[in-house]
Amino acid sequence: MDATSLQDNYRLWLRFQRQEKLSREHKAALQKLAQTGAMASRVTEAYRSMADRAAKEGASYRVLFQRRRDNGDELACEGWLFVRRVLAEGGTTRIRATLFETFTLEEGEITPSANSPQKVTLEIYDELLVQKSMTLGCRTDRHDDERDTRFITFLDSVRGDLRQYL
């Protein structure tokens, strides 16, 4: 095996390691959200706060989400979310935001650039969780692309340098 092939295999192995780490982190965050019993109204207020901070300071928040592949597999992806607006109308809450993807299994690490932002619409709603008992939880999915689901946005992971790419 030549050195180039060995290095390529190592980079691929690192990508799979990162994928596994993100999958575990996403699963743990979903469990924690379910245990807290967060309702859509509470999560909506958090997104309103993010939109306010984005407008004032240019803040973007780290986000993990699942993407369904053509073969049916769902893998965790990572990005940064710049929340522009929260719309609540007729019992539906939608978030207008810009997503900067920073990791997918196919691409590996993705550096934000002027070409990378995607305008997205997320929808927040309550769901019934049936596991050991029936509880009510909250879920955030992408409204304009049904392959992207279960968005978890971290309020404690913030950066302000992405506004230049909007």
| pLDDT per residue rounded down to tens, the chain (166 residues) | 688 899 989 999 999 999 999 999 999 999 898 888 788 888 999 999 999 999 999 999 999 999 999 999 999 999 999 999 999 887 789 999 999 999 999 999 999 998 889 999 999 998 766 665 666 778 999 999 999 999 999 999 999 999 999 8
Residues 17, 24 contacting (CB under 8 angstroms) = no
According to DSSP, the β-strands at 74-89 and 108-109 are unpaired
**Closest alpha carbon to 164 in 98, 65, 78:** 98
Residue 133 has a pLDDT of: 60
- C-beta contacts of 83-92 below 8 A and 24+ residues apart: 83/47, 83/50, 83/51, 83/54, 84/51, 84/54, 84/55, 85/51, 86/44, 86/47, 86/48, 86/51, 88/44, 92/123, 92/125
Q: Which two tokens stand for residue 46?
A: 């958090």
Q: Which residue shows structure tokens 């522009």? A: 84
End-to-end CA distance of the chain: 44
- pTM here? 0.91
The number of angstroms, rounded, from the C-alpha of 8 to the middle of its chain's C-alpha atoms is: 28
Q: Which two tokens stand for residue 68?
A: 């369904």
Burial label for 75, CB within 10 Å (0-12, 13-18, 19+), is middle
CA distance linking residue 79 with residue 65, whole number of Å: 8
Domain residues of the chain, as ranges? Answer: 3-165
